[in-house]
Structure 1
Amino acid sequence: MNKSVLSFQNVSFTYKNGDQAILKSLNLDVKEGEFVSIVGASGSGKSTLFRLITGLEQQSEGDIMINGQSYEKRLGKVGYMPQQDLLLPWRTILDNAALPLELHNVSKASAHRQVSQLLEEFGLKGYENRFPSDLSGGMKQRVSFLRTVLSGSNVLLLDEPFSALDAITRLSMQEWLLEQWQKRKHTILFITHDVNEALFLSDRIFIFSDKPVSHLEEIQVPLSRPRTQKDLNQQRVLDVKDYLIEQLRSKVNT
């Protein structure tokens, strides 16, 4: 059985000056190499979960374990890819991708060598000396994901990374992301509002409920790997999709 790489043990959290707890005695466990999506209504606490994992916020109670260890400071222990690519417009693609290596005190020359070895694999060969303004939305997200991979962590948090892309580019990026994940076997937590996206990408799906969140309902995706977009038309998958939509609608209407 794969080992746990991320776990919440009775974690509670309330924002300072907040009058309502966001999490209350929450437990969750994510195994090595899993792809787990997180869905829920806006404001349900999904992004707060990521802020706690990254160390941008500190829990009021409980333990957060990363690779079996509890850290007083978690900044830099996981890779994080936000919804916006946040590429620095004055840096080339090569320099943008090399940024996490530079922050780990890797020399510029060595960082450039490491990035250059991955450019073709990430579909960025020939773009290394371009600037972000020269790239399409999908290409920018490839750079952003490369930068996240180069953080060096085996746990990657992806916060709605494809939500701003057009439908066709989004499907293409989902397929590309699965290829990269299957090749590298990172553990990925992926926030999305798109039920089809969650079903296509994930091993499991966590549903955020009403606050304070004390339990995450877990859905096992009934698909083997490798999979294609056409597999989403299987009746057992459509049944799960209907259930997910019903649950999300009920959270919005309460």
Structure 2
Amino acid sequence: MSKFSLEFEDVSFSYHHGEKAILEGLSFLVNEGEFVSIIGPSGSGKSTIFKLITGLEDHSGGKIAINGEVYGNRLGHVGYMPQQDLLMPWRTVLENAALPLEIQGATKTDARERVVKLLDQFGLKGVENKYPSDLSGGMKQRISFLRTVLSGSNVLLLDEPFSALDAITRLAMQEWLLDQWEKWKLSILFITHDVDEALFLSDRIFIFTEQPVRKFVEVTVPLGRPRGIRDIHSPEVLQVKEELIEQLRSKVKL
């Protein structure tokens, strides 16, 4: 396996031939087991990056590799967790979590047996027979994340998964996510508009600063691991936060 979980090499993309490019010769790497956040103004191309990685859109030039492999069809080679949980309301917690395993060809019995073994680790023990309408927002996101992990990939794309949660639940989910990331040894690419969230979670942060996107401004978070939420108030991190906010402010058009 490559030491890079994800590689973009001179990748270009536009939605229609002849239109202005969204990406133009973009190159970046995500290391194995790394947590990287992407921040930038709305419409800057963050979700486009995810569509290209998942294979929902195809790049017009360059190379995209996952774990060192270039696939003709990237669908199924990464796990994707959208902003909305997309849980099926007619399926129980257990049935929703088992869905990716069933799609991969596992029998319902085998899929559910595997999920049962993970319920406690994901904080879902005791609610496996409930339906999504009976659960809190944080609980729904735990199910969605479990389903993403069960995609089988070590590369996960999380698209603002906590943006709809209240502030206290959001902090609890951030801490929980870091715990799961460390246990599963995952590579995570995380889209957020929240600078504090990016600083707390990430090893590095990519900032969109131009259109079309040819490169990112890259910031290394000056925090070791393990870390706590209070650590983002250290002088070193506060300095980085000010720089990030200034970068973002300069790109916002009123």
Question: TM-score, normalised to structure 2's length?
Answer: 0.98
Deviation string 1:46-95 (CA, Å, 9 cap, x unpaired) is 00000000000000001100010111110000000000000000001000
Structure 1: gaps (5+ residues): none
TM-superposed deviation, 1:211: 1.0
Residue 4 of structure 1 is matched in structure 2 by 4
Deviation string 1:84-136 (CA, Å, 9 cap, x unpaired) is 00000000100000000000001110100110000011000011110000000
Change (3 A) 1:18 1:82: farther
For the pair 1:229 / 2:232, whether they are aligned, the reply is: no
Where 1:10 maps in the other structure, the secondary structure is strand
Whole-angstrom CA distance in 1 between matches of 2:127 and 2:204: 35
Residue 46 of structure 2 is matched in structure 1 by 46
For the pair 1:185 / 2:151, whether they are aligned, the reply is: no
The one-letter amino acid of 2:11's match is: V
The one-letter amino acid of 1:153's match is: S
Residue 155 of structure 2 is matched in structure 1 by 155
Residue 146 of structure 1 is matched in structure 2 by 146
Where 1:240 maps in the other structure, the secondary structure is helix
**1:9-88 alignment, distance < 5 Å:** 9-16=9-16, 19-88=19-88
Whole-angstrom CA distance in 2 between matches of 1:18 and 1:229: 46
Whole-angstrom CA distance in 2 between matches of 1:18 and 1:84: 33
Structure 2: gaps (5+ residues): none
Whole-angstrom CA distance in 1 between matches of 2:110 and 2:208: 42
Residue 91 of structure 2 is matched in structure 1 by 91
Whole-angstrom CA distance in 1 between matches of 2:187 and 2:19: 34
TM-superposed deviation, 1:155: 0.1
Change (3 A) 1:48 1:18: farther
Whole-angstrom CA distance in 2 between matches of 1:251 and 1:103: 42
Residue 239 of structure 1 is matched in structure 2 by 239
Where 1:53 maps in the other structure, the secondary structure is helix
Mean CA deviation greater in 15-24 or 67-76: 15-24
Provide the alpha-carbon RMSD of the alignment.
1.1
Whole-angstrom CA distance in 2 between matches of 1:19 and 1:74: 25
Residue 214 of structure 1 is matched in structure 2 by 214
TM-superposed deviation, 1:217: 1.1
The one-letter amino acid of 1:252's match is: V
Whole-angstrom CA distance in 1 between matches of 2:142 and 2:8: 30
Where 1:63 maps in the other structure, the secondary structure is strand
TM-superposed deviation, 1:20: 1.3
Deviation string 1:154-195 (CA, Å, 9 cap, x unpaired) is 000000000000000000000000000011110000000000
TM-superposed deviation, 1:253: 3.5
Where 1:72 maps in the other structure, the secondary structure is coil
TM-superposed deviation, 1:251: 0.9
Residue 135 of structure 2 is matched in structure 1 by 135
Mean CA deviation greater in 18-27 or 224-233: 18-27
The one-letter amino acid of 1:135's match is: L
Residue 113 of structure 1 is matched in structure 2 by 113
The one-letter amino acid of 2:218's match is: E
Whole-angstrom CA distance in 2 between matches of 1:83 and 1:209: 23
Question: TM-score, normalised to structure 1's length?
Answer: 0.98
Whole-angstrom CA distance in 2 between matches of 1:208 and 1:111: 40
Q: Percent identity?
A: 68
Whole-angstrom CA distance in 2 between matches of 1:71 and 1:209: 29
TM-superposed deviation, 1:18: 6.7
The one-letter amino acid of 2:104's match is: H
How many residue pairs align between the two structures?
253
Where 2:5 maps in the other structure, the secondary structure is strand
TM-superposed deviation, 1:17: 5.6
Whole-angstrom CA distance in 2 between matches of 1:234 and 1:67: 35
